[in-house]
Amino acid sequence: MPVQRLPGVHTGQSPADVQAEVERGILTSTLGRAVAWARKQSMWPVTFGLACCAIEMMATGAGDYDLARWGMELFRASPRQADLMIVAGRLSQKMAPVLRTIYDQMPEPKWVISMGVCASSGGMFNNYGLVQGVDTVVPVDIYVPGCPPRPEMLMYGILRLHEKVQREGRFK
Ligand code: SF4
């Protein structure tokens, strides 16, 4: 059977070499790459929605879009069991300390996606009541634009995050 691609395991080998290894039943990698591959294929998002963007996030987790294909259909109610925070919607000044507390309770390694223009920059809400960029509260790995971003856009952001996690694994 021809090998089109090996999801996530980037060994730096040519496709022909990989094909030969698969046929022999052997696949080589580094421990760092293998750990990064496992991490990106089993991210669990924390259940956390702030505003209208959260509806699109919930739709992304439903059957039509099927986050289960990446092992991340389980939105966790406890931050201690989650390693991905999707900041879905505008963040009020009052809610900012709560968001930071939830982030602090998540174990390392952990990642953050800022979903929608409100989370990333305050969007149309240029006023003192809302945080003008969630990256002033938690470190953000991926920004997803739009108002609201469609599930496909969030999934694109998730895939970019997967690439980032896999890239970081190259240096370990
Ligand atoms: S970006 Fe749009 S959809 Fe998302 S929270 Fe702001 S106003 Fe709502």
Q: Which domains, ranges and CATH numbers included, belong to the chain?
A: 53-169 (3.40.50.12280)
| pLDDT at residue 171, rounded to an integer | 59
Gap between the Cα atoms of 149 and 114, Å rounded? 11
90 lines ligand 1 (CB under 6 A): yes
| pLDDT at residue 7, rounded to an integer | 46
Q: Ligand 1 mean position to 54 CA, how many Å?
A: 9
| pLDDT at residue 62, rounded to an integer | 87
Q: How many helices (H) and strands (E) does the chain have?
A: 6, 3
**Positive or negative torsion for Cα 119, 125, 131, 133:** positive
pLDDT tens per residue, the chain (172 residues)?
Answer: 444 444 445 556 688 877 787 777 777 778 888 888 888 888 999 988 899 999 999 999 888 898 888 888 889 899 999 999 999 999 999 999 999 999 999 999 999 999 999 999 999 999 999 999 999 999 999 999 999 999 999 999 999 999 999 888 765 5
Q: Which of helix, strand or coil describes residue 159?
A: helix
Which residue's entry shows tokens 């990333």? 120
| pLDDT at residue 167, rounded to an integer | 86
| pLDDT at residue 73, rounded to an integer | 81
| pLDDT at residue 12, rounded to an integer | 62
Q: Ligand 1 mean position to 111 CA, how many Å?
A: 21
Reading the block at residue 53, the tokens are 């963007």
CA dihedral 78, 81, 83, 85 (to 10 degrees): -10
Q: Ligand 1 mean position to 147 CA, how many Å?
A: 5
122 lines ligand 1 (CB under 6 A): no
| pLDDT at residue 103, rounded to an integer | 96
In the sheet with 142-144, reading across from the earlier edge strand, the strands are 84-88, 111-115, 142-144
Residue 14 class from Cβ within 10 Å (0-12 exposed, 13-18 middle, 19+ buried)? exposed
